[in-house]
Structure 1
Amino acid sequence: MSDTTLLERQDRAGTATLTLTRPDAYNSLSLELMQALHAELDRIASDQDVRCVVIRGSGKGFCAGHDLKQMLGAGEEDFYRCTFDTCSRLMQRVVSLPVPVIAQVHGVATAAGCQLVASADLAVAADTARFATPGVNIGLFCSTPMVALSRAIQPKHAMEMLLTGRLVGAERAYEMGLVNRLVPESELESTVDELADTIASKSRKTLQIGKQAFYRQREMSLADAYDHCSEVMVGNMLTEDAQEGIDAFIHKRKPEWKHR
């Protein structure tokens, strides 16, 4: 359990669910909350019992971005630099985590909250959820959210969100590829649980290999990507879980993963 004033963790059947617990501030990412979330992800990275992570928000929404009251109150360049550097490291930790991360979205996900959705490997949203990168409306362009957003959706869709600052409905977010599934809010938790259970039933070692390879090959040329992923598959074939999984498939039995 993390600092329960900021973040709660619950573990179930191989899935760690992290709940942002600043509902009165729409779970805005204060410096302290970002630090707590990063620390919890670091703990999960070395927790061999965890094979999937869910990030969700408490109260009326997922996350309204940075805590602007904290930032305006600080008024110091060093604090701003610390805040944005901490956020950038947090988002990269989501990507580099050895297990998949699912964003469970309800209400609003704006600015750095939208960035968190875009950084997650998968996202499931209530059909009433809304998304935005509204910094342009207050004179603070969403430059760091842009990094994740421009890698999750097509450039022109990202630019429209960034330049207009307008809220995007769940259906449009689904069409743009920002989220994987839309469900009624009453079914959001059960849908995410089912998806997380499916992922958590796999070999942790295999999930780690696949996730790392996915992000690395995406930045390569086609030829380099094939060369890299061919080597990844050779290494994957040599793992105990690959041998176990193939043997289980051939003999029509359930595999017994050792996660190595």
Structure 2
Amino acid sequence: MTITSQLRPDGIRVVTMAAPPVNALTVQGWYDVAAALDEAGRDRDTKVVVLRAEGRGFNAGVDIKEMQHTSGFEALIGANRGCYAAFKAVYECAVPVVAAVHGFCLGGGVGLVGNADCIVASDDAYFGVPEVNQGALGAATHMARLVPQHLMRTLYFTARTIKAADLVQFGSVLEVVPRDQLDDAALKVAGEIAAKDTRVIRAAKEALNGIDPIDVNKSYRFEQGFTFELNLAGVSDELRDDFAGTDKATK
């Protein structure tokens, strides 16, 4: 698994996630994403960030198999804290974050994208929060930034997905382009931002966060509390075993 960060001469920093086969991030992976975004915000030469991924899809959420092959609650707590750190780092990055989404964007992926400032997607991209299938809760906070409330609840309760093209009407996805044009489309938007005075853009990012009607950090932690309850009740472990095909005797 690799999280890379490259600063271009124009001030655009490209952060790329590459965790084959499906970009389901380990505990360390989430912390690595957080570190890359925190570093980008601290670097005064960074004017805007493009968050992208390699492989079949943008992000498949938490690495369930890592969690099921770790005894006790260490991996669960680590995943919850890691996701919180990564989502927070995107939201609080001192410069705007443009998410370039292709293929699947699920669970934790929605957490990253929902906290981004601008979303560009390929025509094969789709979004979903299948947390209920694995006995977890989370990222409703972020899905609610992509779709209206009743649609968010339907998607959440049913674990359905929604195509990127359907999000354009809500204004959450800026545009949908062919897969081979995604990086160029994201860099084009990022370039427009990078061309502005970065002192003003950094102030604007802080100002817009300050007037947000929802505290996304506290809201997400509230959701996580119910995930812990379901784990203590044994519900989550049972459902994750079914998902991962884990044999209890080998754990």
- Within the alignment, does 1:159 sit opposite 2:153 as a pair? yes
Count the aligned residue pairs. 213
SS at structure 1 position matched to 2:100: strand
SS at structure 1 position matched to 2:25: coil
Alignment partner, residue 63 of structure 2:
67
Counting only pairs closer than 5 Å after superposition, residues 5-154 of structure 1 correspond to structure 2 as: 5-12=1-8, 13-24=10-21, 26-140=22-136, 143-154=137-148
CA contact (8 A) 1:88 1:144 kept: no
Counting only pairs closer than 5 Å after superposition, residues 162-241 of structure 1 correspond to structure 2 as: 162-219=156-213
Q: Structure 1's 129 and 151: CA in aligned 2 closer, same or farther, altered over 3 A?
A: closer
CA–CA separation in structure 2 for the residues paired with 1:151 and 1:137: 22
CA contact (8 A) 2:13 2:50 kept: yes
Letter in 2 for 1:195: V
1:89 CA drift (Å): 2.0
- Identity, in percent, stands at 29
* Further displaced range: 50-59 or 152-161: 152-161
TM-score, length-scaled by structure 1: 0.77
1:170 CA drift (Å): 1.9
Letter in 2 for 1:17: V
CA–CA separation in structure 2 for the residues paired with 1:52 and 1:65: 24
1:153 CA drift (Å): 2.9
CA–CA separation in structure 1 for the residues paired with 2:143 and 2:202: 23
1:151 CA drift (Å): 3.4
CA–CA separation in structure 1 for the residues paired with 2:174 and 2:122: 11
Which blocks of at least 5 consecutive residues in structure 2 are unaligned?
A: 215-251
Q: CA RMSD in A?
A: 1.6
Per-residue Cα deviation, 1:105-149 (whole angstroms, up to 9, x for no partner): 111001111221111111100011111111222333xx3211222
CA contact (8 A) 2:47 2:193 kept: yes
TM-score, length-scaled by structure 2: 0.80
SS at structure 2 position matched to 1:205: helix
CA–CA separation in structure 2 for the residues paired with 1:138 and 1:44: 33
1:173 CA drift (Å): 2.5
CA contact (8 A) 1:131 1:173 kept: no
Which 4+ residue blocks in structure 1 deviate beyond 4 angstroms?
none
CA–CA separation in structure 2 for the residues paired with 1:138 and 1:38: 24
CA–CA separation in structure 2 for the residues paired with 1:202 and 1:23: 36
CA–CA separation in structure 2 for the residues paired with 1:6 and 1:187: 23
Alignment partner, residue 240 of structure 1:
none
Letter in 2 for 1:105: V
Larger radius of gyration: 1
CA–CA separation in structure 2 for the residues paired with 1:23 and 1:154: 32
SS at structure 2 position matched to 1:144: coil
Q: Structure 1's 178 and 66: CA in aligned 2 closer, same or farther, altered over 3 A?
A: farther
- With a CA cutoff of 8 Å and minimum separation of 6, indicate the structure with the bigger relative contact order: 2
Q: Structure 1's 210 and 46: CA in aligned 2 closer, same or farther, altered over 3 A?
A: same
CA–CA separation in structure 1 for the residues paired with 2:72 and 2:168: 38
CA–CA separation in structure 2 for the residues paired with 1:177 and 1:85: 30
* Further displaced range: 143-152 or 163-172: 143-152
